[in-house]
Structure 1
Amino acid sequence: MHLSRLAFLAPLTLALAACGNADEPAAGASGAVEGEAIAAIPAPAGSSWLEIASKTEQGGFVLGNPDAPIKLVEYASHTCAHCATFAETATAALQEEYISSGRVSFEIRPIFLNPLDVAIDVLAQCGTPTSYHGLSDQVWGSLDQITGTMQNNPAAFEAAMSAPPEQRFVSLAQAGGLIDFFAARGLSADQARQCLGDTAKIEQIANQSQTVAQADEVTGTPTFFLNGRRLDGNTWAAIEPALQSAGAR
């Protein structure tokens, strides 16, 4: 699906079938990055690269060695089924075989296709950078449950999106069971409500997401870049060989 500007602080309609075809290459793909084999890079003493994460200037969250010679970036939507499939098929191998070696870092840059995306990402960002990837993977692992709750309760969704701006995403998250979902994973309900009620921060996150995606000509999710070059394909079967070709071997 093509991305369009969302008036995040105005009433919106719900659209959940909103991501690209996992069998098609990303538009404008430029292919693999070639490189010599790279030796593993030790993490700082007493730590693992899987414990190191930070927020980037582009509004994404990078996991692993921030100076890794191979940098994988995924533009992803938390309500995109193909993004969920990538998380399910790729996360274990990507972390254990590539990120943990220090050769590869992995950045998720959020894309918002609908209001539920906004609420989920705000909650994922409400914790620390080190929790963002894990929370995102857990959302994708429960995507059918999360989206099904909203699709089965359209009246609650419409009521939430008609609420005053500072209450809008709190109401949406409550209707979708997201506050309880994140509370079970360490984010308190009070902290969740505080983050969801910060309309200025939400608008800043949304605007930055759109600006960065437009600069990279991203029109659907998931879309991958490796060392700044757009990759062909958007499945783990396509991404892993690209990592190896770039030197992660």
Structure 2
Amino acid sequence: MDRRFALGVIGAAAVAGGAWTLTRRDDGFPPMAALAEGSGDAASVMEMTMGPEDAKVTLMEYASFTCPHCANFHNGPLKKIKDEYVKSGKIRFVYRDVYFDRPGLWASMVARCDEAKFFGISDLLYADQKAWIGSGDPTVIAENLRKIGRIAGLTDDQLDTCLSDGEKAQSLYTWYQDNMKADDVDSTPTLFINGKKYSNMSYEELKALLDEALA
């Protein structure tokens, strides 16, 4: 992956322990669409969830579509958790976006273009992360994201509208900033089980914690 996009304007740096931590870096790229903290309507952003609202256990994840550790978690442990716990209605899953960089924000805007398709598009984004972001070229990345959107059934008109929605981009950015500060999140993936914070972990570790919470 091109490190310029791995770090981005609000950036990320890989660290030991299977997570990315937030840093700030001037890498020569223009600000993320001139987005500003404290602007936009964060309350308008839909929380992306799976499973019953009244489930005994809620698993929440903070993740970035450009974070390789998040891709490993989604393609491995979380996939099993969804099959075993979410689809059966045992737990509620909440996904919260983190925007390290412009491609991560663009990916979220594509995934949210049709919110009913969000988790399906998310699966495609994580499964093919290296392919769609690998060039490091913003134009190529944007077109790769459009291709993923089309595979998911989005039209070119839908994609044009979603990717040019500056007001939504600002609201998403503010929502992300507010959430990160409120929950004291500084790396991805970060997990919360019924409000208790955990770092990235294996399927076996996560399963044990969920089973304990469900007991």
TM-score normalised per structure 2 = 0.78
Of 85, 90, 105, the match for 1:118: 105
Q: Is the 8 A contact 1:64 1:99 kept in 2?
A: yes
Report the Cα distance in structure 2 between the residues aligned to 1:143 and 1:72, rounded to whole angstroms: 23
Q: Write the mapping of 1:5-24 to structure 2, written as runs, cut at 5 A.
A: 14-16=4-6, 18=12, 21=15, 23=17
- The change in CA–CA distance for 1:146 and 1:73 in structure 2 (over 3 A counts) is same
Q: Is the 8 A contact 2:18 2:69 kept in 1?
A: no
1:87-109, CA deviations, whole angstroms, 9 ceiling, x for partnerless residues?
Answer: 11124321221012212011110
Q: What's 2:31 paired with?
A: none
Identify the range of structure 1 (186-195 vs 232-241) with the bigger mean alpha-carbon deviation: 232-241
Q: What's 1:137 paired with?
A: 123
Q: Which runs of 5+ in 1 are unaligned?
A: 1-12, 28-55, 161-170
The Cα of 1:172 is off from its aligned counterpart by 6.1
Q: What's 1:244 paired with?
A: 211
The Cα of 1:133 is off from its aligned counterpart by 1.5
Q: What's 1:179 paired with?
A: 146
Give the structure with the larger strand fraction: 2
The Cα of 1:220 is off from its aligned counterpart by 1.0
Q: Which runs of 5+ in 2 are unaligned?
A: 22-42
Q: What's 1:71 paired with?
A: 58
Q: Is the 8 A contact 2:189 2:200 kept in 1?
A: no
Give the partner amino acid of 1:212: N
Q: CA RMSD for the aligned pairs?
A: 2.6
1:62 matched to 2:46: no
TM-score normalised per structure 1 = 0.68
Of 71, 85, 95, the match for 1:108: 95
1:195 matched to 2:162: yes
Q: Is the 8 A contact 1:78 1:139 kept in 2?
A: yes
Give the partner amino acid of 1:23: G
Report the Cα distance in structure 2 between the residues aligned to 1:243 and 1:21, rounded to whole angstroms: 26
The Cα of 1:66 is off from its aligned counterpart by 1.7
Q: What's 2:25 paired with?
A: none
Q: Specify the structure having the higher radius of gyration (Cα).
A: 1
- The change in CA–CA distance for 1:117 and 1:26 in structure 2 (over 3 A counts) is closer
- The change in CA–CA distance for 1:57 and 1:221 in structure 2 (over 3 A counts) is farther
- How many positions carry a matched residue from both structures? 188
Report the Cα distance in structure 2 between the residues aligned to 1:137 and 1:183, rounded to whole angstroms: 14
Of 149, 153, 177, the match for 1:210: 177
Give the partner amino acid of 1:214: K
Report the Cα distance in structure 2 between the residues aligned to 1:26 and 1:146, rounded to whole angstroms: 19
Q: Which has the higher contact order (CA 8 A, sep 6+)?
A: 1
1:28-85, CA deviations, whole angstroms, 9 ceiling, x for partnerless residues?
Answer: xxxxxxxxxxxxxxxxxxxxxxxxxxxx987531111121110000000000000000
